[in-house]
Every structure is written in C-alpha cells, then in structure tokens.
Amino acid sequence: MRAKNAVFQYLEWYFNDQPRLILEGWKNILRYNLNYFSVGLLLKTLFSPWRRYQASYGRGFDFTRYFETLTFNTVSRVLGAIMRIVLILSGLTAETFLVLGGAVLLLGWLFLPLVLLLALIFGFRQILF
C-alpha cells in the first residue's frame, strides 16, 4: 500500500474525518437535550395529573363530594398539562438553538480555511499598500 501525501491526508482529515466527528457529536448533543427535557415521556403523559395529585371518589354517591373530586382531578390534570407543555416547549426551543448552533459550527469549520486564506491576503495587502 502506498503512503498518501501529507497534504491529501490533511485534506481528508479536515473535510472528511472531522466533519463526521462533528456531526456525530452534534447528534449526541441533540439526543441528550431531548432526554434531559424528557420530551418523549412528557408527550406520553401529557394529561396525567400533576405530581400524581388525584383524589379518590370514595364509596357511595354524594353529589357534592363527587363534584369536588371531579373538579380537583380536572384542575390537577390541566395544571399537569400546562407544566408539561411549558417543559416540552423549553426543550424544543433549546433543541432549535442547538440545531442552529451546530449548523454554524459545522459551516464555520468547513469555511475556516477560506476565511484564513482571505485574512492572509487582506493582511498582505495592508502591509504592501
């Protein structure tokens, strides 16, 4: 097997290996964020009572107790849904910023050699003229 030129090794590392590692790390961060905010679990339990606060209807039928329990359980479920929606939206907002930040990072990595070359040219033009 023939050894590769150092320039080609560098280009392969810079434009092939490193972007693949950046994408892999980016994917891990996005997964971690969804797991951190428990978005999947919160969607599954969206209308569960808040902190499992739930009253029992008891034995027999008393309209006042039944209405009071129904109201309490409904408020508990609505409060749980509101809190879960806030957490889901927070997680998705963070996910959006992570997607945008990862895209900026990847594009910055890919265009960095061009930026460095242009900066070098601009610097020489400032020195010479």
pLDDT band at 1 (very low <50, low <70, confident <90, very high): low
Please write the tens of the pLDDT for every residue from 41-61.
Answer: 999 988 888 776 676 766 777
The residue with greater pLDDT, 69 or 91, is 91
Q: Can you read off the two tokens belonging to residue 39? A: 């978005």
Which has the closest alpha carbon to 83: 38, 122, 123? Answer: 38
Task: Find the radius of gyration of the CA atoms of the chain.
Answer: 28
Decide: 54 and 66 in contact? Cβ < 8 Å: no
What mean pLDDT is reported for the chain? 89
Rounded mean pLDDT of 111-125? Answer: 94
| Dihedral-angle region of residue 74 (phi above 0 means left; psi in -120 to 50 means alpha; beta otherwise) | alpha
End-to-end CA distance of the chain: 49
pLDDT tens digits, one per residue of 97-106: 999 999 999 9
Percent share of the chain, pLDDT over 90? 64
Q: Does residue 24 surpass a pLDDT of 70?
A: yes
Q: Is the pLDDT of residue 2 over 70?
A: no
- Helix axis angle for 63-128 and 18-36, nearest 10°, is 160
Q: What's this model's pTM, rounded to 2 decimal places?
A: 0.77
